[in-house]
Chain A
Amino acid sequence: MVKRKIPITIVGNRALVFDLPDIKILREEYHVLGVLSGTLPVAPQQSIFLSVPLQLSIEEVLYLVAMGRAYLIHEKQVTHQFFETWTDEDTEKYLNKLWEGHKKDIKQKQREIFEKRHFFLQKTKKKQQRNKQKTEGLQSDIGKEEGISNHDLLAEESQKEIEVDSSNINLIFYKTEDSSRGLSNYDWLVEIIQHSDGFQRRMLFGYIKNHLINKYNGVVDVSHLEIDNLIYDTIDNAVAVGTAGVDLEKLRHRCDRLISSVRFIQSIHSRAETSQYYVLPGLKFGSKFVVYPGDPLRYHSHHIVNFFNWDEEIDLMRFVNGGRLAVGVKKLWVVSGIKPKEKIKDAESSSNSATEEIDGFINALFDGNGDKEVVNFSVEWAGFG
């Protein structure tokens, strides 16, 4: 079976999925969960059960893209183009379609109401009859006849009401669709503009760059605030601008962290014995990831995973803390990282700009053998003494 590529919407430098069938594929075939983060309209006063959009972490996105299972959509651009090509005719068509839908809705609702009313009436009638029978002790021949005539009446009346439905405007339901999928222009735009390799590469660059370099993380001087918005104007701007004044050392550190966490997901899904594992963000346990042995809908998590660079010093207190915490919640505290390659060391000396650094990162990402370098250690509190 050829699996189709999942379109991932990039909005505000966040990766979102709006289409339910796509969410199904991600979950069941690629074992990528994401986090549902939209208000569930049937129950808008709670945050435990949420609806689309599905929010994906950057690691999940990079994993999917590196495996050729997804592509990125510059949603701002597509919406803009979509609006440009939208004409009054389309509006008319849309309204007509909407009105037809509304009429159907009204019919359905009216029938429902009608049937409910009839059901209720018949119930009360039957009750009355039963009471009569009890008191008078008569046979129910007449009752049966009445039942039949009632049924005819129901059919007749429902026919009638369907004909004169447009008057009852209050039954119209104004629906807001979740995703743009299925709008003919939209699909066409995505296909034509967004799907080329060159565009995808630039898109990926912008997405990663905005994640690694922003005003918050100290990689860049705070005075370069404007970089945050760039990906949302045009994709070319996003690639060219915003890499000045970057602290290369910090950028490299963040690159290494990011690649090791992507590699971790890759390694989990590539090996047969661990292929059933699922990954969720680890905020609840103060780590990068929490790893589940099966779908989190059914199973508790087993691992609390942290990432460190190969030469990075790890505070011993974090070890003790993590180990004790993990044992306390019946899990394992895992330290993960990747072995440095000779090539990366060369690149360190050669890359002089942030652009080169990120380019190198993307090249490394698509390098297929990366997941073999992942090294994991688990830490357990001995609980001794």
Chain B
Amino acid sequence: MIDEDDLLLEEFTQGKSSIPSEKNPGEEDEDQLDDEIQDWGSFLKASNIQISGLTPQSHIVPKRGDKGFEPTANNYDNLLLQNKRDIMYATIGNSSRGHHHKNHVEAFWSADASSNEGEEQYAVVPKPKGSAFNSMGIPSSQRHIFLNFEEILYLVERGSVDCYLIGNTKDASEQKALPMNLQMCYSAFLKSSEDYDMFYVYSYLKRYGYVVRRATEDIKRPPTVNNKKRGPGLSTTFWNIMFKKPLLTVGSIFYKLLGAPLLAVLPKLRVLLSRYSWSTLYESLYATSYGTVLDYENFKAVDTSKFKIVYNLWKPNNHQKANTPPDFQVIIVNTNLTSLPTVDEIKSIFKKCYDHDRILIAILDNGMLNFIKPTSSNVGGKNAYLEGIKKQLKRKRNNNKSNSNRGGRSNKGSRGGKGRK
């Protein structure tokens, strides 16, 4: 499947493709954020496409003034623009979709089955060839592979598969096959606006090398949820030690009898007790309860049929073993159809997914695609004061160590340490 072009392109994108790097797909370069600069000229050079009529000299556009502020009426300006357009047209027009005989794969899409509503239709590949099918489709017992509509459309668009529309002739005596072009494939495979969005996101992710699979409802694991917590204030630990642990039942009776009046005195008591150390003082200052979004009991499950998890993503290296949890899970949102999920909806999504950190929301706007990542983190759960103290201590210890270890070179070492601060 992977041919010279792929390799060339990898060189060309210079690490922009997120396959080897650990970048998230949502993170894009800053210049791309500002304005997408499509320099088809440099692309042409890099990808080494032979285009008739455009000699290498003629399509090298001067570097300076790559993008201007606004058009001026002079001819030079128009020439530059026309040149850029021509290169774009030529690149699109001359890069034909297809493959050589060695890699020839045929797929079949039934024209008759489309009447069965509600059931998903699959394309059949009788003789799958090439590495693309390792991470695609559903294999059958006869070594056929069944492909989803987005998988087959992606392969056709890439030029890797020859697809035929098959069906009965009018008198239903014989079968006939129609070789499909890209336009026919789109019209045959896509049935709703949802389908188009799914296909668009699918091919976007596939282009960057991810292994993309439909997310089915049955692979779900309840996320590890901490119960509602209050801060480990001194009063609670006090109660724990005094009553709850050794004498639970007695403790609860005591609590009922004495708890309320004692609690009233506690604030003063707390301050008194907290004199022991700074950390206990800090602990006693916890006033608010904390937790992740999911921890609160007033969570109400909402209908999230609008925001289904559509795809599971794996980085190519992580997909070797079966049952590896996905690296990301993708929800698709189209700005022209709906708004972003509400907090309640996000909570409901979190309840269904593998891990909060792995949810991506793909936002589509007429061919523009953007990924955002809703996460929930338990800020209060981290003892920032303790960690700060620990870090300081560690740093001091390290400095001391390096000073004593390096001996003669201690000057240099300490300077380095200061620099790092």
Contacts and interface: CB of A to CB of B under 8 A. Distances in A.
Contacts of B370: 283-284
A178 interface: yes
Contact of A283 (B81, B181, B365): B365
Contacts of B169: 87-88
Contacts of A175: 96-98, 159
B38 interface: yes
B34 to A, nearest CB: 6
Interface stretch (B185-193, B255-263, B406-414): B185-193
B115 to A, nearest CB: 9
Nearest to A78: B187
A110 interface: no
A174 B368 contact: no
A13 B192 contact: yes
A228 B363 CA distance: 20
B238 to A, nearest CB: 45
Interface string A281-308: 1111000000001111111111000000
A48 to B, nearest CB: 7
Interface string B153-181: 01011110011010101100010111111
Nearest to B365: A283
A55 interface: yes
A312 interface: no
A216 B306 contact: yes
A94 B186 contact: no
Contacts of A45: 6, 9-10, 13, 17, 19, 207-209
Contacts of A170: 100-102
Interface in B111-166: 111, 117, 154, 156-159, 162-163, 165
Interface in B340-376: 363, 365-370
A108 B43 CA distance: 26
Interface string B269-310: 000000000000000000000000000000000010110000
Interface in A260-293: 276, 280-284, 293
Contact of A24 (B49, B89, B98, B190): B89
Contacts, number: 274
A179 B182 contact: yes
A49 B91 contact: yes
Given A86-B178, A174-B101, A222-B303, A40 B191 contact: no
Contacts of B207: 39, 44-47
Interface stretch (A119-127, A142-150, A207-215): A207-215
Interface string A227-245: 0110010000000000000
B33 interface: yes
A329 B98 contact: no
B187 A79 contact: yes
A381 to B, nearest CB: 17
Which residue, of B38, B49, B179, has the highest number of chain A Cβ atoms within 10 A?
Answer: B179
B71 interface: yes
Interface in B189-241: 190-196, 200, 203-204, 207-209
B67 A299 contact: yes
A284 B305 CA distance: 27
B68 A298 contact: yes
A42 interface: yes
Given A9-B187, A12-B192, A75-B187, A293 B98 contact: no
Q: Give the size category of A's interface with B.
A: 35 or more
Interface stretch (B319-327, B330-338, B386-394, B397-405): B330-338
Given A20-B92, A47-B204, A216-B337, A178 B188 contact: no
B99 A173 contact: yes
Given A51-B95, A88-B176, A293 B71 contact: yes
B17 A46 contact: yes
Contact of B183 (A179, A215, A280, A297): A179
A41 B9 contact: no
A224 B92 CA distance: 41
Contacts of A23: 89, 92
Contacts of A301: 35
A177 B157 CA distance: 10
B336 A295 contact: no
B60 interface: no
B49 to A, nearest CB: 6
Contact of A18 (B6, B77, B182, B369): B182
Contacts of A191: none
B167 A83 contact: yes
A298 B67 contact: yes
A91 interface: yes
Contacts of A297: 38, 40, 81, 84-85, 88
A14 interface: yes
B187 A283 contact: no
Contacts of B181: 176-180
Given A41-B96, A53-B182, A175-B97, 5 more contacts: A176-B97, A176-B98, A176-B180, A178-B182, A298-B80
Interface of B: 5-6, 8-10, 12-13, 16-17, 19, 33-36, 38, 40, 43, 47, 49, 67-71, 77, 80-81, 84-85, 88-89, 91-93, 95-102, 104, 111, 117, 154, 156-159, 162-163, 165, 167, 169-170, 174, 176-184, 186-188, 190-196, 200, 203-204, 207-209, 303, 305-306, 334-338, 363, 365-370
Give the 9 A-B CB pairs with smallest separation, nearest first: A35-B367, A216-B338, A283-B365, A75-B187, A42-B95, A294-B71, A12-B196, A175-B98, A12-B190
Interface of A: 9, 11-14, 16, 18, 20, 23-24, 27-28, 34-49, 51-53, 55-58, 75-76, 78-80, 82-84, 86-88, 91, 94, 169-180, 210-211, 214-217, 222, 228-229, 232, 276, 280-284, 293-302, 329
8 contacts: A20-B93, A43-B8, A49-B91, A52-B182, A76-B187, A172-B104, A222-B306, A284-B368
